[in-house]
């Protein structure tokens, strides 16, 4: 088995009878409305992918893990001249991914369910799905030529890895995200010291979760992938140079991993560049590209990269009249009313949501979940609230269906404030989900709340009875770990629950109902 790294979460897997292209993100104008760009730049590998897809001596497949545009690059897929391949897709409940490719002129589409093995030529793939509404993602395992590659990309399967390995045996190569990719705390209005502290905690938590994933899988090779991206829009360029944020680059994580696994499971973990080729059996580079971006030249590299897009972003300047802004506000009210119609758990949200236009701050929309009311507003009049400030042109692109709400959240072109500063899953779902998915999302949370199975954990010399499933998205807390002798950490999203305080979460309004038992 030979693996060519295509950049970000992209790989080309070559075996005797099969070629599988995974998550090729190669478009020159990035993703999420040109907010994210590939780091390092990998646009030159588009021709290589085209060549691989022309190799009619092998069966050819393109695997798309999920809908996020840094994995599902429809612009690049539409540019392909070679169409003699088959798509491998996860069979999510929401068929948006399949629907967008339904008329694509290729050999066909195979939609795989969770844990379903599918023969590809003389080889075999298995997809593992996380279809939990707020997260819709998949991982892929490829077996061929006596080798096994598990690509988890940024799919949150940490609590299932032990079972996956038990069922499949030795994994030779493992790829897994190590960097953050969310709007918290990136877009939140925090004092600088608070921003840095939250970022530090999230980075270390992510590093530790990834290290534990490597320990669970026990591969011969670990490939750092699925991030971070870089930001070339002048509005976002500063994020690249922040001294502390949630976007650590591979060299930093690989140093952590080497120290962390030195005694438990030493692993070959190279810092790969787009175009590098690895021999899985030998656990070594077969080809190593000459141009390699280092930490020493990172700042200059990003500035040169961004300069190539100066004209592009200058042409995107937007301005709106007062009348246009009011039209967008009225359309936003209609959109939120559609969302509210399917939001059956609105009575559980006690604070109001405000959406504000940065180009006219007194123009905003207020969503009152208790009263199920959506109306225009001129100011924030509530003590407890959730506020999103964004450019009207970006909101209009969502209303025009050029961006999904989740795409919008990942542009990072907004500022957020919340009082109190506590995460609430229901508000997150209302903001980032499409209206047709909200009812199912609420039903999913109610199903998680209804589970009564409990388990016993030990921490700091005491035994605790806790709810087995995380209230966030239902992960099995039996695969979590203890920190500081009192905190249970969920393996999937790394929520921390304080066992000394009844199992309350530190950063949300959730609990795992921890009850102290006798001393261990």
Q: How far apart are CA 22 and CA 10, in angstroms?
A: 5
Q: What pLDDT sits at residue 520? A: 39
The owner of tokens 């530090």 is 200
Q: How far apart are CA 290 and CA 272, in angstroms?
A: 12
Indicate if the pLDDT at residue 84 is higher than 90. yes
pLDDT (average), residues 460-483 = 88
Q: Which helix (H) or strand (E) holds 208?
A: helix 192-217
Tens of pLDDT, residue by residue over 183-202, are 999 999 999 999 999 999 99
For the chain, what percent of residues have pLDDT higher than 90?
81
Q: Which helix (H) or strand (E) holds 77?
A: helix 74-79
Q: What pLDDT sits at residue 450? A: 75
pLDDT (average), residues 70-75 = 97
Q: Check: CB of residue 499 under 8 Å from CB of residue 464.
A: yes
Tens of pLDDT, residue by residue over 101-141, are 999 999 999 999 999 999 998 899 999 999 977 789 999 99
Q: How far apart are CA 12 and CA 24, in angstroms?
A: 9
pLDDT (average), residues 46-72 = 96
pTM for the full predicted model: 0.90
Lowest-confidence region among 120-124, 260-264, 308-312, 442-446: 442-446
The owner of tokens 């209609």 is 334
Residues with Cβ within 8 Å of residue 482, at least 6 apart in sequence = 457, 458, 459, 460, 488, 489
Phi/psi at 454 (nearest 5 deg)?
A: -125, 165
How far apart, in Å, are the Cα atoms of 81 and each of 17, 25, 46, 54, 78?
Answer: 22, 16, 11, 9, 8
Cα 497 versus chain centre, distance: 22
SS3 sequence of 282-298: CCEEEECCCCCCCCCCH
Ordered by where they begin, the domains of the chain are 2-310 (3.60.15.10), 322-443 (3.30.1050.10), 452-519 (no CATH)
Q: What pLDDT sits at residue 518? A: 62
Mean pLDDT (the chain, rounded)? 93
């Amino acid at each position: 088995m030979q693996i060519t790294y295509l950049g970000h979460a992209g790989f080309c897997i070559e075996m005797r009878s099969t070629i599988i292209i995974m998550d090729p993100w190669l478009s020159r104008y990035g993703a999420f409305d040109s907010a994210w760009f590939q780091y390092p730049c990998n646009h030159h590998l588009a021709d290589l992918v085209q060549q691989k897809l022309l190799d009619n001596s092998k069966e050819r497949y393109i695997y798309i893990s999920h809908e996020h545009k840094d994995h599902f690059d429809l612009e690049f897929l539409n540019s392909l001249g070679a169409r003699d391949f088959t798509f491998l897709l996860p069979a999510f409940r929401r068929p948006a991914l399949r629907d967008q490719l339904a008329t694509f002129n290729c050999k066909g589409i195979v939609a795989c369910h969770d844990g379903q093995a599918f023969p590809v030529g003389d080889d075999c793939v298995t997809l593992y799905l996380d279809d939990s509404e707020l997260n819709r993602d998949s991982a892929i395992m490829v077996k061929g030529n006596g080798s096994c590659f598990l690509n988890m990309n940024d799919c949150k399967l940490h609590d299932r890895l032990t079972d996956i390995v038990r069922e499949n045996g030795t994994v030779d190569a493992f790829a897994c995200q190590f960097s953050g990719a969310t709007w918290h705390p990136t877009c939140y209005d925090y004092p600088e010291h608070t921003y840095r502290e939250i970022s530090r905690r999230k980075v270390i938590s992510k590093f530790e979760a990834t290290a534990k994933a490597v320990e669970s899988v026990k591969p011969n090779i670990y490939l750092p992938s699925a991030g971070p991206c870089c930001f070339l829009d002048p509005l976002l360029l500063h994020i690249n140079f922040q001294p502390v944020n949630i976007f650590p680059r591979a060299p930093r994580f690989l140093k952590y991993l080497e120290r962390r696994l030195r005694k438990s499971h030493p692993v070959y973990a190279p810092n790969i560049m787009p175009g590098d080729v690895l021999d899985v059996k030998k656990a070594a580079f077969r080809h190593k590209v000459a141009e390699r971006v280092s930490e020493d030249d990172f700042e200059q590299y990003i500035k040169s990269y961004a300069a190539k897009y100066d004209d592009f972003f200058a042409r995107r300047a937007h301005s709106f009249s007062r009348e246009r802004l009011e039209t967008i506000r009225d359309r936003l009210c209609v959109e939120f009313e559609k969302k509210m119609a399917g939001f059956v758990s609105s009575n559980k949200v006690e604070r109001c949501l405000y959406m504000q236009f940065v180009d006219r701050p007194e123009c905003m929309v207020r969503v009152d979940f208790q009263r199920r009311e959506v109306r225009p507003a001129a100011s924030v009049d509530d003590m407890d609230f959730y506020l999103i400030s964004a450019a009207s042109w970006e909101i209009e692109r969502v209303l025009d269906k050029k961006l999904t709400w989740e795409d919008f959240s990942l542009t990072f072109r907004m500022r957020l404030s919340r009082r109190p500063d506590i995460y609430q899953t229901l508000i997150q779902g209302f903001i980032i989900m499409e209206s047709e998915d909200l009812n199912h999302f609420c039903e999913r949370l109610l199903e998680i709340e209804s589970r009564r199975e409990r388990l016993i954990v030990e921490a700091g010399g005491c035994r605790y009875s806790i709810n087995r499933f995380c209230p966030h998205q239902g992960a099995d807390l039996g695969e979590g770990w203890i920190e500081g002798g009192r905190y249970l950490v969920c393996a999937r999203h790394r929520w921390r629950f304080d066992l000394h305080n009844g199992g309350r979460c530190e950063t949300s309004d959730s609990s795992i109902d921890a009850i102290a038992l006798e001393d261990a």
